[in-house]
Structure 1
Amino acid sequence: MKKTPMTLRGAKKLRKELDKLKKIKRPQIISLIAEAREHGDLKENAEYYSAREEQGFCEGKIQEIETKLANAQIIDIKKIPNNGKIIFGTTVTILNINLKKKFTYRIVGDDEANLKENLISVNSPMARGLISKMIGDNTIIQTPCGKIKYKILQIKYI
């Protein structure tokens, strides 16, 4: 099976969520099911069916996270020698040449991407246009607004 790149930060976040689901959420749901069973007839017990549905969602999420972690190629960018190129996990500052505006992004895995936190997916057009570039390079990236020219200002392996 193909490994999916994931940053060390992303893997830690998923493990934390998995731990919370297994140690807190799952026991809460089990308690709700047990409590609902005590009310008697299960045929007309909405609380029981609601708790069972929630249990299904929880177990599905646990399985999803476990699969993601099992198929992850976890990359710690701090352990990779800085060769000056933009690669998965790097933080890059770029200048939109037309707008004269700076942007800083970290290139991460698909599950970690969050534009509000300046985390862009390695599979996004922006990241694909930046990968393998060096400080001072210019690149043209196709965006929904058209082709935009960027200059690479800074690359950090943090």
Structure 2
Amino acid sequence: MDLPRGFTIRESTHRIHNPFGSDKLAALGRALVLAPGTRVLDLASGSGEMLCTWARDHQITGTGVDISTVFTAQARARADELGGAEQVAFVHGDACGHVTDDLVDLASCLGATWIGDGVVGTVELLIRTVGTGTGRRSGSNPPLA
């Protein structure tokens, strides 16, 4: 499983593959008031710029999941470059339907709502991974708001 080669070639020089720029990612991180150690899951993480810069700037920990082997490798290299390789991990995998066993403090998907067949499905997918700091899943999903 991987992205089509043409897309990977076209996007291979991009650090950010979604509608945000680095300034907006930084503003979002500040607005969220991310505490050190905040656990983040980023689905369809691309080249990992959000997680890597937030690890550097806010000392978050996190995991990015992306279907592209090229982008996953770039994300790992970026984490090394910014000194956050101990704080973040990048997994090659399909973000569609991806739910972690360990709950996180924040789950995101920027610019790839196709992973949940649209905005509503993507939000429902993200909610299934977010907890209240309890760590392991208790067997039931948090209610939808």
Question: Which of the five TM-score ranges fits, normalised by the shorter chain?
Answer: under 0.3
Q: Who wins on radius of gyration, i.e. which is larger?
A: 1
TM-score normalized with structure 1 length: 0.24
- Which structure has greater strand proportion? 1
- Which structure has greater helix proportion? 1
